[in-house]
A and B are shown apart, each in its own frame.
Chain A
Amino acid sequence: MSEPLLKVTGLRKHFTVRKGLARQASVVKAVDGLDFTLERGKTLGLVGESGCGKSTTGKLLMRLLEPTAGSIALDGRDVASLRKDELQSFRRRVQMVFQNPASSLNPRMTVGSAIAAPLAAQKITPPEGVKKRVQSLMDRVGLRPEHANRFPHEFSGGQRQRIGIARALALEPDVVICDEPVSALDVSVQAQVVNLLKDIQDELGISYIFIAHDLAVVRHMADDVAVMYLGKIMEHGSRDQIFGDPQHPYTRSLLSAVPSVELGAGSKDRIRLQGDLPSPANPPSGCVFRTRCPAYALLPEEKRLLCRDEIPTGSVACHHPDAPLLEIPAAATTLV
C-alpha cells in the first residue's frame, strides 16, 4: 500500500492562558492526542461541538501553529523539519478556507487582487494569465466579474466565504482544509459550492479536511468522518458507518440533535446532552465524555468504574459502545 498523503500522529496543542489580576496560568488542551490519515483524492470530515479543537487542528496542519507534541507528515515527510525551499512548496500544496472569512482578507485590498496575490507570489501562472484565472475562479464560486474591484467590507457574509474558497483553490493545492466553508451560505449556493468542491476533487485529485457542524453537508462531502470531543477523537469511521451505524454515545447524541424540517418532528425525540461542556483547561479524568454521557447515566455502578480508565484507542473510543442511551425530554434540559 502506498503512503497516505497526510499522516497525523499523537498531535497535541496546549495553550497557556493567563487570567485575572494575578495572571495565573492555566493550560487549555485544545488538541489532545490525534491520530488520523488522509488519502489522496479523499475527504475526511471533522465534526464535534464548538470548542472541541477543529480549527486548531486545521491551523496545526497549515503550520500556522506549532504543535506541543506529535507529528504531521505530508507524503511521508515530517513537516516540522522542512527546509526553506520545501516550505515554499508546502505553502502551495496545503491551503485553508478559514472559518472567519472577514478576518482572513486584507480590508485594504480589492478582492481581485487578494485572489491574484498567491498566484503572483508562486509565479506558476504567467502574469498575463492571472487576471483570466481570477475571473474564472470567481465565476466558479458564483461571484460576478465586477466584484473583483470591490473591497471585502462591500460583500455579504456568504460572498466573503466564497472569496476565501476561490483564493484557497487558486494554486491547485493537494490538500485544502475547509473550516466551515459553507456555513454562511443559503442552501442553493451551498449546493453549488459543495458540487464545485467535489468537481475540483474529481478533476485534480485534491484531498479535503472538511470541518463542518452541518452533518448533512458532511455526509455529502466526506468519505471518512472523525468525531471530536475535548481535543480527542471519539469515533472514526467511514461515512456510511458513522451515519448509518454510529457506535459511540457521543456520535449517537450528535446525530439525534439535528434540527429537522420535518414539520411536527419537534424536539421531543432528541437526545440532548446534559450539563455543560467541561472546560478544556480541566477535562474529566478517564473517558472525557463521561460527565455528559447519556449511556453512563444508565450504567450500573460496576460498569461505570471502567469509564474512569483511559479510553481505549481504536475506531470507537468508548468502554461501553453498545449501552442504551438515556433519552431526556427537551423541556427538562432547557437552560432558562
Chain B
Amino acid sequence: MTSFLSVKDLHVEFPTDDGLVSAVNGMDLSLERGETVGLVGESGSGKSVTTQAIMGLFKDSKARVSGTIDFEGTDLISLSENRMREYRGKKIGMIFQDPLSAMHPFYTVGEQIAEAYRVHNQVSKKAAKEVAVDMLGRVGIPAARSRADSYPHEFSGGMRQRAMIAMALVCEPELLIADEPTTALDVTVQAQILDLISGLQQETNSAVIFVTHDLGVVAELCQRVVVMYGGQCVEQAPVRTIFREPGHPYTRGLMASMPALSDETGRLKPIPGSPPALLDLPKGCLFAERCEVAKLLPEGLCREERPLLRIHGDHEVRCHAHERGLLAVGGPSAAGNMKGESADV
C-alpha cells in the first residue's frame, strides 16, 4: 500500500557563488491521512526546505530538486508550476515560518484571507469576508470583525502568525504543512491554535506535518516524530518512543539541551560543535564530527561510511552504533528532563 504522502530520497541543492549548498540530502518521510507528524531538528537542518519542496516552491528557481514526492499517487516533483498551483492551498496548505513575507503589505488581513478562500470556493466577496472574519475569531484575534480591516504591519508578531494560520486553514487543505506555526505565540494562544488544528484535522481527516523545535508541542500534538540532521532523516518513531528511548545520539543531545520550567537556572547544555558544512558534506555520518559515541566504534567507520536508516519495527534510526546495539536503551542524556511517566499518549 502506498502512503498518502511519501517522500523518498529527496535532494535539494542551491547553487551559490561559493559552490553548491546541499540543504536536503536524501530525505525520507511518509504520512497517512489523519496523522500528525512532528518534524524536528537543528536550525538549518533542512526542515523548511523539505516542506517548501513538497509545496513545489522551487519549480521556477535555480534550486536543484531530485528524488520523489508522491502525493496520492502523483509525483509532485515532475509537475509543472501550472499544475502545481492546483495543489497549493486546497490540497496542500502551508503555514509559513515567516508570516510577513507570506502576506501582502497593501491589502488588509481580512481581504487576504477572503481571497485565499475565493481561489478554491465560488462565493461572493461578501460571503468570503464573513468566512475570513469567522476564521480570524477562531485563531483568537480579539474583535475579529474590526481587526480584519487592519493591515499586516498593524498586527503584533503573534497576531500576524495567527492571520497566516487562518489563511491556510480557511481552505481546509488535505495536507497541512505548518512550519513553526506557534513560535511567536504565548502558551495560552498556542494551546488554542493546537486545539483548532487538531479539531479541523479530525473533522476533515487531513494529514499534518508540524515543523517545530518545541518538544512539548510535539509530545502533545503528534503521533510520530521525524528527526532531521544535515538534510536527512536520522530517526523516526512514535512520540512515546522518541521521548523514552531516543536512539540517535543527536536526538539524545537534543533532549538533554532542553530547559525545563521546573529546573534550576544553571547553564544549559547545548550539543558541542557545529552542523556539517553544506558546501562540502562529509563522506560518512553527518553527525560523526560531534558524536560522543563515534569513538566507541572501529577506527574511522563513522567518518568513512554513511549509515543507513535501519528499521526496528516502528522505530527507524540512522546510526552505526545503534545498529550494533552499542547504545544503552534510554541512554545517558535521555534521562535529562524526562520524567518516566507510564501513562499512554
Across the interface, name the chain A residue whose C-beta is closest to B203.
A336
Query: Do A184 and B259 have beta carbons less than 8 Å apart?
Result: no
Query: Do B42 and A216 have beta carbons less than 8 Å apart?
Result: no
Query: Do A213 and B185 have beta carbons less than 8 Å apart?
Result: yes
Question: Which of A144, A215, A253, A281 is within 8 Å of B261, CB to CB?
Answer: A215
Across the interface, name the chain A residue whose C-beta is closest to B139.
A335
Across the interface, name the chain A residue whose C-beta is closest to B279.
A146
Query: Do A239 and B265 have beta carbons less than 8 Å apart?
Result: yes
Query: Do A146 and B48 have beta carbons less than 8 Å apart?
Result: no
Question: Which of B40, B137, B187 is within 8 Å of A254, CB to CB?
Answer: B187
User: Which interface residue of B43, B154, B253, B274 has the most chain A CB atoms within 10 A?
Assistant: B43
* Chain B 212-240 residues near chain A, CB threshold 8 A: 213-217, 219-220, 239-240
Residues of A near B41 (CB, < 8 A) are 186
* Chain A 270-329 residues near chain B, CB threshold 8 A: 270, 272-273, 276-282
Interface flag for A150 (CB, 8 Å): yes
Interface flag for A2 (CB, 8 Å): no
Residues of A near B189 (CB, < 8 A) are 49-50
On whether A190 and B342 interact (CB within 8 A), knowing A157-B48, A281-B143, the answer reads no
Query: Do A254 and B188 have beta carbons less than 8 Å apart?
Result: yes
Across the interface, name the chain B residue whose C-beta is closest to A54.
B156
Query: Do A102 and B100 have beta carbons less than 8 Å apart?
Result: yes
Query: Do B98 and A156 have beta carbons less than 8 Å apart?
Result: no
Across the interface, name the chain B residue whose C-beta is closest to A160.
B98
Distance between B335 CB and nearest chain A CB, rounded to angstroms: 13
Q: How far is the CA of A323 from the CA of B216 in the complex (A)?
A: 29
Query: Do A216 and B143 have beta carbons less than 8 Å apart?
Result: no
* Chain A 215-247 residues near chain B, CB threshold 8 A: 215-217, 219-220, 239, 243
On whether A188 and B187 interact (CB within 8 A), knowing A102-B98, A219-B259, A279-B142, the answer reads no
Q: How far is the CA of A277 from the CA of B14 in the complex (A)?
A: 44
Chain A contact residue count (CB 8 A cutoff): 81
Across the interface, name the chain A residue whose C-beta is closest to B155.
A51
Interface residues on B, range: 35 or more
Distance between B176 CB and nearest chain A CB, rounded to angstroms: 15
Query: Do B343 and A336 have beta carbons less than 8 Å apart?
Result: no
Interface flag for B328 (CB, 8 Å): no
On whether A186 and B146 interact (CB within 8 A), knowing A17-B154, A50-B162, A51-B158, the answer reads no
Distance between A155 CB and nearest chain B CB, rounded to angstroms: 8
Residues of B near A149 (CB, < 8 A) are 16-18
Given contacts A19-B146, A180-B184, A279-B143, 13 further A-B contacts (CB under 8 A): A49-B189, A102-B100, A144-B274, A149-B18, A186-B40, A188-B270, A215-B187, A255-B261, A259-B214, A263-B240, A335-B196, A336-B196, A336-B199
Interface residues in chain B, defined as those with a beta carbon under 8 Å from any beta carbon in chain A: 14, 16-18, 21, 40-44, 47-49, 97-98, 100-101, 137-138, 140, 142-143, 146-147, 149-150, 154, 156-159, 162, 179-180, 183-192, 194-196, 199-200, 203, 213-217, 219-220, 239-240, 243-244, 253-254, 257-261, 263, 265, 267-271, 274, 277, 279, 337-339, 341-345
